[in-house]
Every structure is written in structure tokens, then in C-alpha cells.
Copies of this chain bind each other. A is one copy, B any other.
């Protein structure tokens, strides 16, 4: 069965977004800087239509995020457009007409909506019947590739607490954010058990891969 995998960048104090998230600042104060290890990479730039860039120990991790993904799951807060029912001219994500997913994206929401087809192979599907259903649909769509859990923190917590996450790659950056969205909170009882699979030292970041114990 296709693996469900979370690849996420976390500040050393445990946040995946900074305080005061807003429409202007979707990752909160300091949140954008979490991804300073990723953006300069050739692997990321090429995927986003730019030339040049760096090649280093993070390249393999970035290529994993960018390739071999057959379907994506994300929460409504990450998809954006504010909470509550969709408006008449509804929000189509933060990522423009040609989003970087190139795969079906299953958005968890309480508010039903028809699928939206974007350019480049991304179609947004809106799932209102819970995380298991979203995973089932994503697995069916992913064929022989992995299902990527894109975030945010709350959705990641729900999948982790439910024992549905097969693999987590946490990219720990040397930043302190002091507040915001914590990745590893509200994980239920008993707590999920993990094993460390590998750690990768790279410039300005340490990638640690965990599997379900």
C-alpha cells in the first residue's frame, strides 16, 4: 500500500509556522525563514521553473519531497482562504494557476465543494468525511507512488495520533520562533511510537527520518 509520508520543516523549538499567521503572512512571523535551506537548492528551483542553485546534502531530501508523490493531503488552514463556508469566488490555494504539486490534492474541510482543476496536473479535491476517507481517496489516486501529507500542524497531528503516518522526515532548523503552530502537540494517549531511520547533516538544517515503531 502506498506510504503516507510527512516531510516538514520544524524550528528547534518545535514550530512549523510562526506566531500571528495571516493572509499576508501565511507562515506567521519568521515562518518563511524556516525554508531557507530548501529555496536556494537547484532541485527546488528547477521544479519551480528557475535555473541554477545549490547542490548539497539536502538535495536528496528535496528531491524526495518534489518527486515520487502521487497524491497530496492537506488541511483547510494550509490550503487557505480563511475558515468557514467557501465564498462565491472561492479561494484556489496560495500557489497560483500552476501549483507545485503536479498531482491530485485532497483538502480536508468541513465545507463541500466541487473539484478544481489547475494547470500542471494539480486538481484540488475537497474531502468532508474525515482523514481516513481522504487517505483512502489519495491512495487510490497515487497509484504506485507515495501520498504526501503536506500539513499543517493540526492535520499532521490527527494522522500521527491515528497511527496512519508511515514515515516522517523532520527538517530541524537552527531557529527559535517562540510561538506559532507546534507540530508535535495533541498526539493522544497512548502516544505514537517512532523509530529513527536516519539523520542527514546539511548546511543549516538536520533532516531526521522516522518510521512508525
Contacts and interface: CB of A to CB of B under 8 A. Distances in A.
A204 B13 CA distance: 20
Interface stretch (A59-67, A78-86, A105-113, A187-195): A187-195
Contacts of A208: 172, 206
A117 interface: no
Contacts of A178: 187, 189, 191
Interface in A172-213: 172-178, 184-185, 187, 189, 191-196, 198-201, 204-206, 208, 210
A14 interface: yes
Interface residues of A, number: 30
**How many copies of this protein are present in the complex?**
2
A185 B13 contact: yes
B194 A176 contact: yes
B12 A170 contact: yes
A12 B194 contact: yes
B204 A196 contact: yes
A210 B174 contact: yes
Nearest to A186: B178
10 contacts: A12-B210, A13-B187, A174-B195, A175-B194, A176-B187, A176-B192, A178-B191, A196-B204, A199-B200, A199-B201
Given A172-B208, A174-B195, 6 more contacts: A12-B184, A12-B210, A176-B187, A176-B194, A195-B204, A199-B200
